[in-house]
Each structure stands twice: as structure tokens, then as C-alpha cells.
Amino acid sequence: MSRKAFIMKLFDNCYEEYKKRHDEIWPEMVKMLKEHGVCNYSIYYDQNSNSLFAHLEIGDEEKWNKSAKTQICQKWWDYMKDLMETNADNSPVTINLQEMFFLK
């Protein structure tokens, strides 16, 4: 099992819509994530910085790396691009975090 953590940035006044879209996440997006090895996935919001902290656990690094190439992921990124900082391919701009401590 691998754990990943990263930070993303919401645009101002987009919290409610971001939350709504994730509360209504598409079943096919959930299916794709699970098929690509995601066991747990959490996103937290920091209202002071408008930042999102994401943490996920994956069972297979190779499968996870292929998730970004799926049609549903590309569609999701396109759907979310108006709410957050994105790259040219509409993927979220992320800052990967290095794990410093883990207690099991």
C-alpha cells in the first residue's frame, strides 16, 4: 500500500461548488479510481488559504499512474477546471508532499 498527499488551490468563492461536485461525484469516476488501485481518498479544505489537501492510499502504483490517461479522468478535469488552478491539460496543479511520519 502506498500513500500520497498533495495540495491543490481553489479559486476564490469556489468552495461551495467544489464541495457540491464532490458530493455528487460521478459513479463512473469512483469506479475508475477504484479500478486504478485507490483504496481511500480524502480531500480537506483550508479556508484561510483556499487550499485543498488530498490524501490517498493506492494498492498499485502502476495502475494509479495510468488513471490520468482515462477518458473519465480527462472529462472530470475539464468539469473542474473552472474552480481551481490547472495545468494546460486541465489537470489540477498539485504540490506533492513528502511523508514525514506515519503511525499505524
Please tell me which residue in 3, 22, 34, 66 is annotated as part of the active site.
22
Which of 11, 5, 6, 7 is closest to 85 using CA atoms? 11
CA-based angle 18:9:23, to the nearest 5? Answer: 20
Q: Is 55 a catalytic residue?
A: no
* Residues assigned a catalytic role: 22
